[in-house]
Structure 1
Amino acid sequence: LVHFRRSWGLQSAVARLCATGRAARKRIHHTLADGDYRHFATMASHVTKAQTNLMDPIRVPEQIDWALEQAVIHSQPVYIELPEDMVDAAVLASRLSTPILIPDGSPSPHEPLREVLERIYDARQPLILVDGECRPLRILDEVDALVKITGWPTWTTLFGKGLINEEPPNVYGHYNGSWGSQEWQAYFELADLIIALGPHYTDTNSYDFTTIPREEASISLSKSTV
């Protein structure tokens, strides 16, 4: 049984797997009937940032704190596996009086920021491309402000459609690459700076990869990189 709960604005997964007969590899219901109880944990490892299996009562508090710490740091799901025979296990409560310590998110070196600002100030034919990952990044207000303040020509991708206010005169709608306006395509090809926000470059979203900005002209802002 897998429960999902909201925690710090993200999804945390807590799994409760039947442990009866684990050592004997019995074919318990809600498994794949092959005696291997690791299938679900293995599947979760592909879609969660961290995983832990609560097998030792002495280590349980530390394991849970570590998993929650990873969830907060990365704002991504974690997977905590709780075997049935561990539900009633007694654990030390001493860690409850100590807050989970999250590493200080110290500002990154200023050099990348200076480079970004230089490219912005030097741009002669810039544009902004708003993509669908802006919503999970929770930067829609900032994106709207950037579009308004710069007045730069702005387009959205297919997945970015509807994420920003499209009433300003510098917002032209969603860009569809070689499948759409040749005038727009020419502007993209000649742009010396493309601010790509929340890029999601799949085939369907990029009109068969024809809307992906030229790398040498782009500054892309994604979840963990610029």
Structure 2
Amino acid sequence: MSAPDERPATVTLAAYLGTRLRQLGVEHLFGVPGDFNLDLLDGLAVDGPAWVGSPNELGAGYAADAYARSRGLGVVVTTYGVGELSVLNALAGAAAEDVPLVQVVGAPRRAAVETGALIHHTLADGDFGHFSRAAAEVAVAAETVTAERATEQVDAVLLAAVTHRKPGYLAVPQDLALAPVDAAPLARPLVAHSDADALAAFEARLTELLATAQRPVLVVGQLVPRFGASDDLAKLAERHGVAVVTQLSARGVLDPGHPAFAGDHAGAMLTNGTAELVEAADVVVHVGTALTAELTGFGSHRRPDAGTPFLAAAEAGFGATPVGRVLFRDALAALDRALDARTGPRFERSAAVPASVVELAGPLTQAQLWSVLAGVLPTGTALLADTGTAYYGALGIPLPADTVFSGQPIWSSIGYALPAVLGQGLAEPGRRPVLVIGDGAAQMTVQELSTIAAAGLAPVVL
């Protein structure tokens, strides 16, 4: 006989949200208190994720972004208007970089909205939708909670964010934060599913395409680390002997000594032989890639044709045409099965080219800096490089085994990486962060050093 369900029939909306977040692996919330979110924060404090307060909202947003990259979901909590707009930069960056960052906003009471009251933190025009409309431009799902659909709206935003690996937006009116809601949905996990027919069609065509492939190459992008699928990819590549090149946003997905790892790939921008390998392939499979200028060597890559297979967050297909709703992990499993039918030769990687020796005498140079850092970077760390010289310099560092490499190559907002140390350090406490950042970029978010210290983290900051 099963034990009776001890969950209460109702919980506060804030407690419902906190429980859902913990079910999805969120143990920390980042943000800044404000008068419209105080009730919400009080409710979240009851058995919800731990609160991490930041000096400003943008830093909190960047920290939550980095947390999401490691945990699969990050959350930043702000007040309405003045607080949420400060996070919009981080939210847009998360959209560009495929990061499931959810912004939770403490909004004014419903009565104020219904009457068009001219209150603080507004544009004094009676329209309370300005900021939610702005967030909706960069969010995969955006909702302002209502009494009638509160739990449904919470679940919809969270599920969309983790399924698509895109940001979400949730506004909670002040007078609903502690209102009772039905707790029954909490017994059902938030899980999305592929369309079975679309998945079968994708796998069948992929199997046919790969069966006779002699020189297949997997071009791997940022969705692999975003979905925590690095180990799955490593096992797939080794089992089937298929070559793997990684976009710069997926550096570190495979350890440098992996037998299938052919190197980083950015079209003709890199001279490590990966461009030639991809050009010579008879089948190229794009696994979670983003074909932006910086990640393709400014368009110097081999462009996909109508038959090129691709795996995206919530769809898969060929060329620019998806076959339907196929979730990323299901598509990756389909790729694994499709490769079973291949009879061609296994990939044999070339011997590694020894790193050039940099003379350390004389004034300090860029070449010396990166050479020294490459020599002392230990295994099992997280290397975070900020936009600009720091990022592109760090690209030349051979990564040790079990190293997380992170930056913002697409959105490229300077100052991101310093607060990202906070989120990365709390998400993976056993992995020491190493930050490389320019002095100008550091000035954008340097206040977060205080939060990093308060959290007990001990990063290396260069």
* TM-score (ref. length: structure 2): 0.41
Matches of 2:297 and 2:184, distance apart in 1: 53
Contact 2:268-2:275 at 8 Å conserved across structures: yes
Query: What corresponds to 2:240 in structure 1?
Result: 150
Give, in whole Å, the separation in 2 of the partners of 1:48 and 1:216: 29
Distance 1:221 1:202 in 2: 16
The alignment status of 1:16 with 2:106, answered yes or no, reads yes
Instruction: Look up the SS of the partner of 2:286 in the other structure.
Output: strand
The answer as to whether partners of 1:153 and 1:171 remain within 8 angstroms in 2 is: yes
1:192–1:217 Cα contact (<8 Å) kept: no
Deviation at 1:208, TM superposition (A): 0.4
From 117, 124, 128, the counterpart of 1:37:
128
**Contact kept in structure 1, 2:158 and 2:168, CA below 8 Å:** yes
Read off the aligned partner of 2:104 and give its amino acid letter: V
User: Is 1:132 aligned with 2:222?
Assistant: yes
Tell me the distance in 1 between the aligned counterparts of 2:192 and 2:251: 35
Structure 2, gaps ≥5 residues long: 1-13, 26-72, 75-101, 317-462
Task: Report the AA paired with residue 108 of structure 1.
Answer: A
**TM alignment of 1:66-145, pairs within 5 A:** 66-72=153-159, 75=162, 77-87=167-177, 93=181, 95-98=182-185, 99-100=187-188, 105=193, 108-109=196-197, 110-145=200-235
* Letter aligned with residue 196 of structure 1: H
Alpha-carbon deviation of 1:179?
2.7
Q: Structure 1 113/74 Cα, relative in aligned 2: closer, same or farther at 3 Å?
A: farther
CA contact (8 A) 2:141 2:169 kept: yes
* 1:50-77 deviations in Å (ceiling 9; x for gaps): 333345x4x1xx3322431452365255
Aligned to 2:263: 173
**Displacement, 1:218?**
2.5
| Paired letter, 2:258 | P
Distance 1:88 1:118 in 2: 55
Secondary structure of the equivalent of 2:219? strand
Instruction: Show the counterpart of 2:329.
Output: none
Matched positions, count: 216
Correspondence for 2:254? 164
| CA distance in 2: counterparts of 1:169 and 1:21, whole angstroms | 62
User: Residues 212 and 158 of structure 1: is their aligned pair in 2 closer, same or farther, counting only changes over 3 Å?
Assistant: farther
Give the counterpart letter for 2:128 in structure 1.
Y
Q: Deviation string for 1:68-120 (max 9, x for gaps)? A: 1452365255433232344565x5x5x32354586873662223211111212
Task: Determine which of 284, 287, 311 is the counterpart of 1:221.
Answer: 311
2 CA distance for matches of 1:50 and 1:104? 15
Compared CA separation, residues 16 and 212, structure 1 to 2 (3 A): farther
3-state SS of the aligned residue for 2:210?
helix
Aligned to 1:43, the other structure's residue is in SS state: helix
Conservation of the 8 A alpha-carbon contact between 2:245 and 2:274 = no
- Which amino acid is 1:15 matched to? V
The answer to whether the 8 A contact 2:159-2:191 is kept is no
| Structure 1 gaps, min length 5 | none
Q: 1:161 to 1:66 in 2, by over 3 A?
A: same
TM-score (norm 1): 0.77
CA shift in 2, pair 1:216/1:166, >3 Å: farther
| In 2, Cα distance between equivalents of 1:143 and 1:213 | 23
CA distance in 1 between counterparts of 2:227 and 2:120 reads: 39
Aligned with residue 65 of structure 1, among 152, 156, 168? 152
Structure number having the greater helix percentage: 2
Residue identity (%) = 19
C-alpha distance 66-113 of structure 1, shift in aligned 2 (>3 A):
same
SS for the counterpart of 1:128 is strand
Alignment of 1:180-191 (within 5 A): 180-181=270-271, 184-191=274-281
